[in-house]
Amino acid sequence: MTSSSRDWQTVEQQNYDALIIGGGISGAWLAMHCAQQGLKTLLVEKHDYASETSSSSSKLLHGGIRYLQQMQFGKVRESAMERSEYVYAAPHMSVPIPFAVPTYPDFQRSKFFLNCGMLAYRILCLGEGKVLDSKEQTLPPVRSISAAQLNEICDLSNEPHTGAVVLYERHMLDSERMVLAILQTAQSHGADTYNYVSAQSFLLDGDRVVGVNVKDEISGTEFNIHSKLVINAAGPWIDNLNGKLKSAHNAPSIKGFSVGSHIVTRQICDHAIAVTTRHQSDAKIDRGGRHVFAIPWRGYSLIGTSYDEIDSPNGDVKLEASHVDQLLDAINEGIPSAKLTRDDLVSGFSGLLPLRTDNIDRTVYQGSGEYQIIDHAKSNGIEGVVTALGAKYTTGRKLSALTMELVCQKLGISNNQTRTKLSNSNYIHLSEFVNSKISQYQEHFSEDTIRHLISTYGSDIDQFLKRIANDKELTQTICKHQPDIFGQVVWAVENEQALKLDDVLFNRTSLGLLGIQDSEVVEVANLMARLLGWADQHLATEIEAVRNRLQATHKALHNV
């Protein structure tokens, strides 16, 4: 993904086939699929790519096991298959991670009952391996462990458990980087993509949308983009535009919004642990309440998700002290030996999800995993616009594939979708590729650094290392306790459209969530200033914005 010139005069003169609003996981897949169809495609994102809902997950490619409790068997299979589609597209961007689900003497939480559920899960997932192109990417089988074995993994000796069932999920290093890789692939097929461009209003010709009036959030410039079809993939914010259309009340709209938060703490154990909470779930087969997960991530534990509801998507969605309390209480009740306190907290984040349930019960977790595709010609008599609303990261590709059926119909073309690896997955077997790169670069970098760079850039690692080869400063680590190097800052600016300090520290790397020190923030900012030609005042503004974000998180974590 090369840096865009932001030449708005040229963009305004174009007539696109498809204009996509929203640069999260749904919009990214849509841009890629539209470009693969040969459509002249443009995507715009109001903030930075994947900086909102798509950045605020547990970073899991979720196989759908939670839908088994809800008896949504179709969703179980769909999620498992879509997890494999991600692994097929980019094997290097996620790793298998073991989840230990503790079992107890009562029947509904017993090892026997849970293993029956796992058998049903395996049956529903039959054929998942055929989606993959390599057996080495197949997840390890489910297994049961004894009480003693579970206590070795995570000390639950104070709990009356009987052991655990261990299953495997796929965990991403960064959910934002998956979005970037998909956008990069879209660009390789000819798509134009721009961050920090907000959609202000639809352009109308009678009852037809013919484009969008947009604003460059960096320069303040407003201009029009013309397109045969507009696809609104703005997630929880779709109604900010859709609500301005004629007869908008006739189209489906979002009925409510949930805020999900995560905290990053000292690592509890090297397995992910599922903890049952006192909060009610929407499961038909209830194991005692909604689950919170503690997942090992980059030397810490990533704990989530808390649950809260708000009435509007346009307020200040941020980590609150109450969200932190909810997660700390859940972990300390479920894993008493953890003894987590606010002193153990490193960072946290919050994200917004749409709820489409008409009767919202504020005591019940309502993450449905459903999606909606709206043809506004049918819903409220406006041609030229389609809405694609997703709810889960893992099913973002499926949402796009289904939307493309309508897109092709609208544009009068054949739907010729093909399965494609992402552009940074140019290798055959991941293990062989990793070993070859370790051998190739071991004189200059540690094995951990090489593995980290492959997880980040995949087959683009050679181009990346060639770019920084003659500058020793760029090979140095940014933070002492993480493998990210200063070369990643250069690559983010030159190849990934990073325009702000926040983009690099939170969306191109996760260092902003990993205990970065103020002096390290300043070093990254100074490097970006040299690359982007920031004046002293601009540099100070960028540093202050990141400091304010880190300070707000600190206040929520420590309730000050």
pLDDT one-digit tens code per residue, 126-185: 888 888 888 899 999 999 999 999 999 999 998 899 999 999 999 999 999 999 999 999
Average pLDDT, the chain: 92
Q: Which CATH architecture has domain 8-53+176-253+369-411?
A: 3-Layer(bba) Sandwich (3.50)
Residues 176-199 have a mean pLDDT of: 98
CA atoms within 13 A on the CB side of 424: 29
In the chain, residues under CATH classification 3.50.50.60 are 8-53+176-253+369-411
pLDDT tens-digit profile of 203-213? 999 999 999 99
What number does CATH give the domain 430-558? 1.10.8.870
For every residue of 429-495, which 3-state class applies, written as one string? CHHHHHHHHHHHHCCCCCHHHHHHHHHHHHHHHHHHHHHHCCCHHHHCECCCCCCCECHHHHHHHHH
3 state DSSP class of 48: coil
Please report the pLDDT score of residue 454 as a whole number. Answer: 98
Residues 6+ apart with CB under 8 A from 495: 1, 2, 3
Tell me which residue of 368, 349, 348, 347 sits closest to 358, measured CA to CA. Answer: 368
In the chain, residues under CATH classification 3.30.9.10 are 256-355
Count other C-beta atoms under 10 Å from residue 266's C-beta: 13
Residues 6+ apart with CB under 8 A from 353: 53, 236, 257, 258, 259, 260, 367, 391
Percentage of the chain beyond pLDDT 90 is 79
Count other C-beta atoms under 10 Å from residue 386's C-beta: 23
What number does CATH give the domain 256-355? 3.30.9.10
In the chain, residues under CATH classification 1.10.8.870 are 430-558
Please report the pLDDT score of residue 256 as a whole number. Answer: 85
Please report the pLDDT score of residue 367 as a whole number. Answer: 42
